[in-house]
Structure 1
Amino acid sequence: MLNRHVIRGALALILLALAGLGAWLYSLPPAPALADMPQVAAGEIEAMLAALKPPRRKRPLVAVVGINDATETTDYLMPTGILRRAGVADVVSLSTGPGPVKLFPALTVQADATLARFDAQHPAGADYVIVPAMSRDDDPAVLAWLQEQSRKGATILGVCAGAKVVAATGLLDGKRATTHWYYLQDMLAKHPSIAYVADRRVVADRGVATSTGISASMPMMLILIEAMAGREKAEAVARDLGLASWDIRHASQAFRQTRAFTTTVLGNLLAFWNRERVGVDLQPGMDEVSLALAADAWSRTYRSRAVSFAEASPAVETRNKVRVIPDVASAGQPPAWHLAPFTDQRPAQALDQTLQAIAMRYGARTAHVVALQLEYPWGALP
């Protein structure tokens, strides 16, 4: 999704520059140092945790919803994997209809249930509904279902550009929110009553929470775990993820479309003869969060695309029972492919190491392009 929009935007910007109308692109102020991110008052965190307390069940029910044709990879798999490894809630992955969920930009999975089956099994609704970015913001089945879940008392969490889907339901009208930097202005233009909150990775307001870009679903889930089960549990899960600490601070101005971003994307697109398929070897019990981050990152370079493979099998079950359907059935690693490493690492390390590997293979600018799409504060953003 973001890739397609970036391509269109990059082509438009280069045409403007060639016409002598793109000088504004070169005069943007420098990004603030990530160390200078605004501090968060203790009262703000306490209010957020209170807002995210389980509304009904002692052991909450969490639904992660996706559409079958294109749902963002990390937005869908990271919340599912993190919440399941925490063991503090029942987590169900959903699809709008039968059949596999094609994730974007990489991987295909089998959801646990359809919306209709979930409704039949849980007529009182979920405690929380997590909404990833989707290829369309106006899927009628998703919008109607989210409105009904909210009416039944569920807290709705829009991850990344999933905030645009939540906004399309009307549930963000008159509320404070955020979203991925690339889609922010579009969301505000369509829903002007939304009050944008800068410099926060997560914002909660009256039954709805939203986050900034893709990587923000990790701190968002840790905050949700803390609201469900306390700080000690959240810290234990964070250590398991490879995080020493986390919070909701964010340097919003560090994430924007710059000259370096645009020219790198265009350069990689123009090198169309030099594309790689990055083989991701699916293994039973592998970490689905690390898998999602690595496959997502390798598929955002504009030089490569992650392709999953496994020995002939309808699906490979990950550590936390996510069923991943391989793109290719193979008895062994295809020798012509460059294997994406680090899918067996702790997620925080897997993302950093994947970005480092991308920098080694395609250059630091391409790695920064990936980090910017993931809205991940990796190194000094150009």
Structure 2
Amino acid sequence: MTCRILLLALTGIGALALLAGVIWFLSLPSPTHRTGPVPVADGEYTSVLHALKPPKRKRPLIAIVGINDATETTDYLVPYGVLRNADVADVVTLSTGDGPVRLYPALTVRAQATVAQFDQRNPQGADYVIVPAMSRDDDPTVLAWLRSQREKGAIIIGICAGAKVLAGAGLLENRRATTHWYYLKTLLRDYKNIRYVPDRRWVVDDGVATTTGITASIPMMLTLIEAIAGRDKAQQAGESLGVAQWHAGHDSQAFQLTRPFALTVMKNTMSFWRKEQFTLQLQPGVNEAALALVADAWSRTYLSRVTTRSINGNPVVSGNGMPLLADQTGDQQDNNGALPSVDMTHPADTLKQTLEAIAARYGAPTAQVVAMQLEYPWRKAR
């Protein structure tokens, strides 16, 4: 009798959980019709450039900081690659401790210094600090270091959900800001004094900048290059990326948790028989931004994950000197399990080709889920 009552109770709990799930799913909105980015007045962009002018050095020092156990792949690597290519500043990658920096959802690298070593070498601090999304928003080393850098006059730039880290450090108090669409409600719930600005890919307020989702790192870095070295230099950097123009305009309503998004994620998550693991052979001199976008995108399908391989197990050095640490050793002779090939020359084109390859393999809804996570306005090519 006791077992029967327990079974009935568990069945009832399961039914209630299922009902709650159905109610939650039905409460999600349908996709909104995209109207395109909201126009940005020239005066607003000029003000942003002025606010991002180098605060200390003629040739600025830019630090990109991450935690060792989980820092977002594209947030960390794209700013590094774009800024190093532009050669308008000295750029250093940092970690909280010694050892590898494991990026998520893919890739492992080695930072150039720890935050403690950086402080010893640069007691006056950086000109700019770039803060990626991190698996933990409350790392005490990061929070204390960010407060210290801001006190020394550095401009702090939070990429994507890096805004949550900035908020944890108290740097968004009574400031205008934005962040990745998925984390917006949580950010505004936990930090009620933040003044959210919709329809902007980035917002700058009193020495602190924030951006929307992952791919906003590209136009944000181009804007920073323009603030440091002028429009012509930024245009050159944009052309190398495959980006002809950029601005702060954004269609915030186009990025939200919808029924098609949730349905595709649930379907892919449950399709265990379709799961794939791809191997990405690391090549010396690879473009960091292109590598990050490819590995990031294929790791967000809920059907595939990306591992890396090097021939001899030694770190593979990227085009701008980033040591890449492989998951496996060996040469991929037969191309079995390799990612579909894309042009790695211009990262913006690389992303478009990667999304098309994902759509060809798994369908357009899955590619759209990836684009939504990257907060990238993608539509399948006809």
TM-score interval, normalised by the smaller of the two chains: over 0.9
Q: How does 1:128-167 map to 2 (within 5 A)?
A: 128-167=128-167
What is the identity percentage for the equivalent residue pairs of Structure 1 and Structure 2? 56
Q: Alpha carbons of 1:226 and 1:101: their partners in 2 closer, same or farther (altered >3 Å)?
A: same
Q: Give the equivalent residue in structure 2 for 1:270.
A: 270
Q: Alpha carbons of 1:318 and 1:169: their partners in 2 closer, same or farther (altered >3 Å)?
A: same
Kept in 2, the 8 Å contact 1:49–1:227? The answer is: yes
Deviation at 1:312, TM superposition (A): 1.0
Q: How does 1:85-100 map to 2 (within 5 A)?
A: 85-100=85-100
1:105-126: per-residue Cα shift (whole Å, max 9, x none)? 0000000000111111111100
Specify the SS of the correspondent of 1:31: coil
Q: Give the equivalent residue in structure 2 for 1:5.
A: none
Deviation at 1:33, TM superposition (A): 2.5
Q: What amino acid is aligned across from residue 32 of structure 1 in structure 2?
A: R
- Count of aligned positions: 365
Deviation at 1:335, TM superposition (A): 4.1
1:237-288: per-residue Cα shift (whole Å, max 9, x none)? 0001011111111000000011110010111111112211112111101111
Q: Alpha carbons of 1:173 and 1:236: their partners in 2 closer, same or farther (altered >3 Å)?
A: same
Q: What is the root-mean-square deviation in Å for CA atoms of aligned residues? A: 1.5
Deviation at 1:32, TM superposition (A): 2.5
In structure 2, distance between residues paired with 1:192 and 1:16: 32
| Residue 38 (structure 2) pairs with residue 33 (structure 1) | no
Q: How does 1:326-365 map to 2 (within 5 A)?
A: 326-333=326-333, 335-342=335-342, 344-365=344-365
In structure 2, distance between residues paired with 1:219 and 1:88: 16
Kept in 1, the 8 Å contact 2:356–2:380? The answer is: no
1:22-80: per-residue Cα shift (whole Å, max 9, x none)? 4321x44623322xx22111110011001100001000000000000000000000000
Q: Alpha carbons of 1:16 and 1:224: their partners in 2 closer, same or farther (altered >3 Å)?
A: farther
In structure 2, distance between residues paired with 1:22 and 1:81: 40
Specify the SS of the correspondent of 2:285: coil
Q: How does 1:64-143 map to 2 (within 5 A)?
A: 64-143=64-143
Kept in 2, the 8 Å contact 1:294–1:343? The answer is: no
Q: Give the equivalent residue in structure 2 for 1:8.
A: none
Kept in 2, the 8 Å contact 1:265–1:369? The answer is: yes
Q: How does 1:157-306 map to 2 (within 5 A)?
A: 157-306=157-306
Calculate the TM-score normalised by the size of structure 1. 0.93
Q: Give the equivalent residue in structure 2 for 1:24.
A: 27
Q: What amino acid is aligned across from residue 306 of structure 1 in structure 2?
A: V
Q: What amino acid is aligned across from residue 33 of structure 1 in structure 2?
A: T
1:277-335: per-residue Cα shift (whole Å, max 9, x none)? 11211110111100000000000000101111110132101111111101111123464
Unpaired stretches in structure 1, ≥5 consecutive residues: 1-13
Deviation at 1:379, TM superposition (A): 1.1
Q: Alpha carbons of 1:195 and 1:296: their partners in 2 closer, same or farther (altered >3 Å)?
A: same
| Residue 322 (structure 2) pairs with residue 325 (structure 1) | no
Calculate the TM-score normalised by the size of structure 2. 0.93
Q: How does 1:51-62 map to 2 (within 5 A)?
A: 51-62=51-62
Q: Alpha carbons of 1:356 and 1:84: their partners in 2 closer, same or farther (altered >3 Å)?
A: same
Instruction: Give the structure with higher Rg (CA).
Output: 2
In structure 2, distance between residues paired with 1:125 and 1:16: 54
Deviation at 1:15, TM superposition (A): 4.2
Q: Give the equivalent residue in structure 2 for 1:3.
A: none
